[in-house]
A = this chain, B = another copy of it.
Amino acid sequence: MTRTTLSDDGVTESAENAGNVGNAGNSDNTGNAEDLPGARRPGGRTARNRALVHEAVRAQLVEHGYDSLSVDTVAERSGVHRTTIYRRWRDVGGLLADVLDAARDDDWTPPDTGSLVGDLTAINREVHAALTETRSVTTALIAASFRSERAAAALHDFWDDRYVRCAAVVTRAVERGELAPGTDARRLLVAATAPLYHHVVLLRSTTTALLADQAARDAFLAATAGAFAPQEQ
């Protein structure tokens, strides 16, 4: 779920994922694109600068970590003037928050496989792929959220947006009769995905894609056994 989380094609240069991360997904990764012929894009200089800056923030973060982020390093890497960056984003917290806010601008919707267990499995595979890919933007942004209050708040909002979108999976399952009406979508989705984050981000365990499937199925079994029910307690 590169779209559900925060993978970045500009960094990984995976054609498959092109355009996933809001505005920034469309940017070149060629240094000072303002100087390149053909670098102009719809939206003009402002949108172009934003894309270049986001790209630079993510690349810098996964390659050199939070401590390397500054207005100056982002200016150098993006080719956007530091005065412009300072005026618009102010500081590292502002840069990280905007990267995360932009990630909410895409049109991602959860997979529709025709069954609850299928949908949860598809979501979990995307989450697992995003967390475990080389130089994962997602894990880098999570790590940064422990340094920056603004990044933490933006990450919270990002995930909130994703859980709202993913609630469609639960709604469909209720409509198919797989789940009782009133099932708590957020709790079910957290139960399905939390073990992945726990293993990869907190326990730093070596994981395989099997974990994604198991966690999805475990949450599915819990749901059909009556967990996440509304009147509980």
Interface centre among A199, A202, A224 (most CB of B within 10 A): A202
Beta-carbon contact of B218 and A156 below 8 Å: no
Beta-carbon contact of A210 and B233 below 8 Å: yes
User: Would you give the shortest CB distance from A33 to chain B, in whole angstroms?
Assistant: 32
Interface residues contributed by chain A, number (CB under 8 Å): 39
Beta-carbon contact of A152 and B204 below 8 Å: yes
- Hey, which chain B residues are within 8 Å of A153, CB to CB? 204
1/0 contact string of A130-141 vs chain B (CB within 8 Å):
000000000000
- Hey, which chain B residues are within 8 Å of A225, CB to CB? 221-222, 224-225
- Hey, which chain B residues are within 8 Å of A179, CB to CB? none
Beta-carbon contact of A191 and B195 below 8 Å: yes
User: Does chain B have a CB within 8 A of A102?
Assistant: no
User: Does chain B have a CB within 8 A of A201?
Assistant: yes
Beta-carbon contact of B221 and A226 below 8 Å: yes
Cβ-defined partner of A203 (8 Å) among B143, B156, B199, B222: B156
Beta-carbon contact of A156 and B205 below 8 Å: yes
User: Does chain B have a CB within 8 A of A39?
Assistant: no
User: Would you give the shortest CB distance from A61 to chain B, in whole angstroms?
Assistant: 12
- Hey, which chain B residues are within 8 Å of A219, CB to CB? 222
Residues of A bordering B, CB below 8 Å? 142-143, 145-146, 152-153, 155-156, 159, 187, 190-191, 193-195, 197-199, 201-205, 210, 213-215, 217-219, 221-222, 224-228, 232-233
